[in-house]
Amino acid sequence: MYNTVLFDLDGTLTDSAPGIINSIRYALNKLNIEVNEKTLNNFIGPPLVKSFAKYYGMNEEESRNAVEIYREYFTDKGMFENSVYPGIEDSLKKLKDAGKRLLVCTAKPEVFAETILKHFNLDGYFDYIGGSLMDETRTSKSEVMRYLINLCELDVKHTVMVGDRADDVNAARGAHMDCIAVFYGYGSPVELTTAGAKFFCGNPASLADVILEFDTVK
């Protein structure tokens, strides 16, 4: 039985790709760097500093500068170029009605995650919204997860992570926590199975049922 459920944000609760991709394009254009369209979806999920370094060869200082420029657009427009996956709110309500404790575990800055969830009237479902800090610390999913485990005194044996990328699966495995990988987000089935995911969900509307099914497992 899972008493607590940790949710990733981008690609799990909301379809945030348009705003993130537009913010990446804005930053690269302002830096006079040619946009490689094939790289853009890869920015959704992992820390931005690492992605700018990996896909555009930036050093740490350049990557941090790119993130600052990215946030100019994201803060003004990008975070709202976003939509809640159909069926997610019903799943959250069903889990809350079943007595589950719901938390958000995202690599996105905590202040942005709070604003986005409040904008979509989803913030009331969560006991705590955990994310990275604006000074680019506590940026990895593993760091955010450890923060939540300590802060909220989570029993990892009765906690499950729900996410759409390998980072979610790897963070959960590192914390000795189960993970339900969702196929409707931005990570491919190959990425998620290669990372070691054992439990899966292909539809946000059935997410609560997948989680609650474990309550019947003895």
The answer to whether the CB of 25 falls within 8 A of the CB of 5 is no
Q: Helices 60-76 and 48-56 meet at what angle, rounded to 10? A: 120
Task: Give which of 54, 49, 81 is closest to 68, Cα–Cα.
Answer: 49
Taking the C-alpha atoms of residue 113 and residue 125, their distance in angstroms, rounded to an integer, is: 13
| Structure tokens given for 22 | 């537009």
Task: Give which of 194, 206, 118, 207 is closest to 161, Cα–Cα.
Answer: 207
Marked catalytic residue, from 8, 164, 167, 178: 8
Taking the C-alpha atoms of residue 211 and residue 100, their distance in angstroms, rounded to an integer, is: 10
47-50 contacts at long range (C-beta below 8 A, 24 or more positions apart): 47/107, 47/132, 47/136, 47/139, 47/140, 49/136, 49/139, 50/139
Phi-psi region of 11 (alpha: psi -120 to 50; beta: other; left: phi over 0): left
Active site residue 8: yes
Residues forming the active site: 8
